[in-house]
Amino acid sequence: MRARLISAALISCAMISVAAASDLPTRVATKAPTSFSPAPLFTWTGWYVGLTAGYGWGNARFDTPAAGTGGTFRPNGANIGSTLGYNMQSGSIVYGLETDLSVNWLKGTNSAVAPCRICEVSNPWFGTFRGRLGYAPGMTMVYATGGFAYGGVRVKDAFGDDEHHNKAGWTLGAGVEQAFNNRWSAKVEYLYVDLGNTGFGGGLNTRFNENIVRVGLNARF
């Protein structure tokens, strides 16, 4: 009799435990949180295209040995242009090549020398092909640049003479470029451009050089 009572009690306890377990809330499986992809590391390496705008001022010296006359011009004016370049970064050092072509409104006049053999000297366009060497521990780069320059030198006088020559020369400069991300950067740079001596009709010789300060916006890819 006692054995039957114990068995009945055990069966009752087992049934109560099963019923209590069936009343517990069901655990829903959850996904592990998705891991975030790290942002791409910044690098200066790659191609870029850009636009520039600036202002230039310079010196133009002319001499007419046969007439024994000469004079100096102080040309100045604005410029706008486009840029194409490539950078390669190794540590904090950035090597690159850059070419640009600009429309230039730089001109100067001089009518003090009678009989005004030259009244205007201008540089209507110029371009450069340069190397760049920069130091960039982060998203700011300081750089030196130099190489080949070319452009047009034009003279006009009071008698209606208008002569234009394309000239080759050299350029040196420096700048600072600030990257905003891997796609966009902006720069401020200075260039000295020397187009050398140009011979014109009537035994006239002109030497032309200019200083250029400009800003630029580059799209990098």
Percent pLDDT > 90 in the chain is 56
Domain definitions of the chain by residue range? 46-220
CB 118 within 8 A of CB 109: no
Alpha-carbon distance 26 to 22, whole Å? 9
pLDDT at 78: 98
CATH architecture for the domain at 46-220: Beta Barrel (2.40)
Q: Which two tokens stand for residue 88?
A: 């390669």
Tens digits of residue pLDDT in 17-60? 444 445 545 555 555 555 555 656 899 999 999 999 999 999 88
57 forms bridges with which residues in the sheet?
76, 211
pTM of the predicted structure, to 2 decimals: 0.77
pLDDT at 59: 87
Alpha-carbon distance 88 to 202, whole Å? 49
